[in-house]
Amino acid sequence: MHEKHLMICGATGCLSSGSHLVEEALIEELEKHGIKDKYRLVMGGCPGFCEVGPIIVVYPDEVFYCRLKPKDMAELVEKHLIGGEIVERLLYKGPDVDAPARFYDTIPFYAKQKFNVLRNSGIIDPESIDEYIMRGGYRAFTRALDLDPPAICEEVKQAGLRGRGGAGFSTGLKWEFTNKAPGSKKYVVCNADEGDPGAFMDRSILEGDPHAILEGMLICGRAIGANEGYIYCRAEYPLAIKRLKLAIEKAEAYGLLGENILGYGFNFKINIKEGAGAFVCGEETALLASIEGKRGMPRPRPPFPAQSGLFGKPTTINNVETLANIPLIVREGGADDFVKVGTEGSKGTKVFALAGKIRNTGLCEVPMGITIKEIIYDVGGGIKSGREFKAVQAGGPSGGCIPNELIDLPIDYDSLNQAGAIMGSGGLVVMDERTCMVDLARYFLSFTQKESCGKCTPCREGTKRMLEILNRISEGYGEPKDLETLDSLAISIKDSSLCGLGQTCPNPVLSTIRYFRKEYEEHIDEHFCRAGVCKELFNYRIDEEKCTGCTACVKACPTDAIRGEKKEPHEIIQELCTRCGSCVEKCRQECIMITPLGSEADVSN
Amino acid sequence: MSIAIETEEAVTEEIDLSKVDALIEPYIGKKEMIIPALQKVQDHFGYLPRSAVEQVSKRMRTPLSRLYGVATFYAQFKMKPRGRYIIRVCKGTACHIQGSPKIAERIEDILGLESGETTDDLRFTLEEVACIGACALAPVIMINDDPHGRLTPDKIKDILDSYQ
């Protein structure tokens, strides 16, 4: 038996902050004291709080250590593991807590979260099937084996689960369609082609709790009458793929996958397909084409995959997070518990990836119906650097932005749609006053334009034309009628594109025009980008009253465009300035202002 | 008629095709396994040399046009040799609003490359990637498997110098 368990976050976020080095140092310290065998070290799933990584949680004490460095390990081992005393220095500290916080219940980031989908992430060893089973894993599947397949579909329907991948279609209904479709060969497909820039919850689930996905697929297979499943996973997620492969091997060894599972005469096998890098493959018909070894291009629906999907057979396609919810619903009494959380039309929880100019970046799982304000200020800890909150982009390149005025909007499928955004996969990118909304729209459109597969004309040509207009506006050549043209192009693309990519890609443009029209007009009429992003449309100027003459900006400037004596106010030579922003990063007095071209006025406030 | 795909094999040594058959052996006869077969070949060579794709075409009894149709559709497949170090600049939303364009610009300036290009000495290849999922550390670049996060343009030179 181990005295304590130490869970080290081994997800991509913490690895990038050096958690593998922390692990090495920890092992070294334990070996030095000859006590390595007394502790169980797990490079496990993600506790979500990437901002303060690398993270170690010590069980059973439930102590959450964060922002760790390899050199902290000596103290952690000597003081906590040997001495039994908590190392206060390494606990969570922040502007949102009065005293160093010990664990989930006292850290504000976790206070409003509810763990359904992330129930095991960071708690179990993702490479151990036994730990998954000990936490109640595969119990829902064994229950499903005793149920009639239509009864399983009915339970999922009753739970009100809606697809977590984007459109929010009823999962139970989808299963029912496939169950009723004629044919003896059917497929379950797990869409793990998480392509939305700014969303990484599916990867975190796959890396932290792979068996939950296998269990979800097995239950789905039982419900729709399929005996084969595919997981289509991005090749950019090597750790997720490795853990899935391992999970499949273990499940096969335990007789939970394969022939005649647990003696019920039910056969099921799962294959993994690695994607090859095409955003459009997140669209279900394109994804199926890709599994079949073709170019990943969508096709018109109907027929829907439930009638004619993979290799022409009835197929259910569910997203990773959707499948991770299934074991919770199908277990004894699960559906009744599930509906207790959420709103009328959106049940359960949703995992969001918080990123951008927010203090607490990371993953959070919150009940549906929580307001944007609660997510940003309570969970997210507010805006980094204390600037003003401007908007949040929900749903990635297919979604839209939600401005400050709508900050009390509850997050569920229907309210987001009404506001011109979508739930999408759940990326929330927070923006402050230094984010230019024209540039944001241009960024998303350049992404979708590149990723458009080119099959249908509205998407292929329309996005290109829209992008040209946006490029022009951000370079200072916008024309008054541009907004009208953008609007009409956007509407035709939405109405006439073949697949979800084209139908949703104008959303970022439409929603930024809807909520930030003034900013577009400023770009077009006054040639001014007040956020200081569109390089042709502003000047940096030094506020002489605030400048202390510290020369930090002079040293940072790559083009020697800043002049001034030490302790005297500096000046920027506009002819030499390339507006690279290096000086702004270095200036501690915040005295570098964003001003309109050719003007001396201070408009940075 | 030959397909007009530039493969630039002139700059590389002769392509040793002896391993190709073994690599794609498990996929022979399975048309739906074209993508895994090409992935295996690319893992071996670092890109898809024309002669290797021809070999796959013969062994898998699939027209070359179809193989190139698939290979050019997906961003993962490369038709030209790549550098020892692949720099992937994350162009995800979080990285974009935290300044990834400035990071990319600095790398381009230092190496004299545009995205998709390789230095003449095959040291670096510069690529863009939609999102590597380390949004908390934005802006991020990956050099081979090493992520570098919370970057500012002035950190770039030292990072590049550490990859020789």
User: Is residue A602 in a domain?
Assistant: no
Distance from CA of A85 to the nearest CA of B (A): 31
Contacts of B10 (CB under 8 A, 6+ apart): none
**Are A143 and A162 contained in the same domain?**
yes
**Are A451 and A465 contained in the same domain?**
yes
**Which residue among A432, A461, A483 closes a domain?**
A432
Cα dihedral A196, A202, A204, A208, rounded to 10, equals -170
Distance from CA of A280 to the nearest CA of B (A): 10
**Are A492 and A553 contained in the same domain?**
no
> What would the two tokens of residue A340 be?
């207790």
Among chain B residues, the shortest Cα distance to A295 is held by: B70
Instruction: Count structural domains, chain A.
Output: 5
pLDDT for position B13: 54
Among chain A residues, the shortest Cα distance to B39 is held by: A276
Cα angle B29-B34-B37, degrees, rounded to a multiple of 5: 95
pLDDT for position A605: 41
Contact status, residue A429 vs residue A355, Cβ threshold 8 Å:
yes
Closest by Cβ to B136, choosing from A235, A290, A355: A355
Q: What is the spatial distance between Cα B5 and Cα B26, in angstroms, rounded to a whole number?
A: 27
- Mutation target among B33, B56, B96 for the A interface, most CBs of A within 10 A: B96
pLDDT for position A252: 97
Contacts of B95 (CB under 8 A, 6+ apart): A197, B131, B135, B138, B139, B140
| CB spacing of A196 vs B97 below 8 angstroms | no
pLDDT for position A599: 61
| CB spacing of A444 vs B132 below 8 angstroms | no
The one-letter amino acid code at A431 reads M
User: Is residue A137 in a domain?
Assistant: yes
In this predicted complex, what is the ipTM? 0.86
pLDDT averages per 10-residue partition of chain A, 605 residues: 88 82 95 93 86 91 93 95 93 88 86 93 92 96 97 97 90 97 97 85 92 98 97 88 96 97 97 92 95 95 95 97 97 95 95 91 94 95 88 91 95 92 88 94 94 95 97 96 97 96 95 97 96 94 91 89 91 91 86 83 46
SS3 B82: coil
**Are A445 and A584 contained in the same domain?**
no
**Are A499 and A368 contained in the same domain?**
no
Contact pairs from chain A to chain B, CB under 8 Å: 138
Q: What is the spatial distance between Cα A312 and Cα A300, in angstroms, rounded to a whole number?
A: 14
Nearest of B57, B61, B20, B22 to residue B41 by alpha carbon: B20
Does B159 reach chain A within 8 Å, measured CB to CB?
no
| CB spacing of A195 vs B134 below 8 angstroms | no
A56-59 vs A63-65, strand pairing mode: antiparallel
Nearest of A179, A421, A118, A433 to residue A315 by alpha carbon: A179
| CB spacing of A16 vs B131 below 8 angstroms | no
**Are A184 and A316 contained in the same domain?**
yes
Contact status, residue A368 vs residue A19, Cβ threshold 8 Å:
no
pLDDT for position B2: 41
**Are A320 and A213 contained in the same domain?**
yes
Taking contacts as CB-CB distances below 8 angstroms, the residues of chain B near A277 are: 74-76
Does B46 reach chain A within 8 Å, measured CB to CB?
no
| CB spacing of B131 vs A353 below 8 angstroms | no
Cα angle A147-A149-A152, degrees, rounded to a multiple of 5: 70
Exposure on the CB side of residue A319, measured as CA atoms within 13 A? 29
pLDDT for position A600: 56
**CATH code of residue A32:** 3.40.30.10
Q: How many residues can be counted in chain B?
A: 164
Q: Count Cβ atoms below 10 Å from residue A526 Cβ, excluding itself.
A: 14
**Which residue among A477, A502, A525 closes a domain?**
A525
> What would the two tokens of residue B149 be?
């996060």
Q: What is the spatial distance between Cα A529 and Cα A82, in angstroms, rounded to a whole number?
A: 58
**CATH code of residue A519:** 1.20.1440.230
Closest by Cβ to B131, choosing from A17, A198, A278: A198
**Are A441 and A420 contained in the same domain?**
no
User: Is residue A533 in a domain?
Assistant: no
Q: What is the spatial distance between Cα A550 and Cα A494, in angstroms, rounded to a whole number?
A: 53
Q: What is the DSSP letter of A280?
A: G
Contact status, residue A379 vs residue A366, Cβ threshold 8 Å:
yes
Q: What is the spatial distance between Cα A69 and Cα A72, in angstroms, rounded to a whole number?
A: 5
Distance from CA of B75 to the nearest CA of A (A): 5
User: Is residue A123 in a domain?
Assistant: no
User: Is residue A117 in a domain?
Assistant: no
Which residues in A453-463 are b (16+ Cβ under 10 Å) and which e?
bebbebbbebb
**Are A376 and A441 contained in the same domain?**
no
**Are A157 and A294 contained in the same domain?**
yes
Does B132 reach chain A within 8 Å, measured CB to CB?
yes
**Are A396 and A444 contained in the same domain?**
no
SS3 B4: coil
Does B76 reach chain A within 8 Å, measured CB to CB?
yes
| CB spacing of B130 vs A276 below 8 angstroms | no
Distance from CA of A276 to the nearest CA of B (A): 5
Taking contacts as CB-CB distances below 8 angstroms, the residues of chain A near B76 are: 235, 275-277
Among chain A residues, the shortest Cα distance to B134 is held by: A13
Q: Note down the domain range covering A568.
A: 538-595
> What would the two tokens of residue B34 be?
């074209």
| CB spacing of A15 vs B94 below 8 angstroms | no
**Are A426 and A444 contained in the same domain?**
no
Beta bridge partners of residue A425, listed in sequence order: none
Kindly tell me the number of DSSP H helices and DSSP E strands found in chain A: 23, 18
| Tens place of pLDDT per residue across chain B (164 aa) | 344 455 554 444 578 899 999 999 999 999 899 999 999 999 999 899 999 999 999 999 999 999 999 999 998 899 999 999 999 999 888 888 888 999 999 999 999 999 989 999 999 999 988 777 777 788 999 998 788 888 988 899 999 999 98
Among chain A residues, the shortest Cα distance to B69 is held by: A295
Does B56 reach chain A within 8 Å, measured CB to CB?
no
| CB spacing of B39 vs A277 below 8 angstroms | no
pLDDT for position A47: 86
Q: Is A253 exposed, middle or buried (0-12, 13-18, 19+ CB in 10 A)?
A: exposed
Nearest of A460, A415, A464, A429 to residue A358 by alpha carbon: A429
| CB spacing of A295 vs B75 below 8 angstroms | no
**Which residue among A398, A432, A466 closes a domain?**
A432
* Rg for chain A, CA atoms, rounded: 26
The one-letter amino acid code at B57 reads S
| CB spacing of A16 vs B153 below 8 angstroms | no
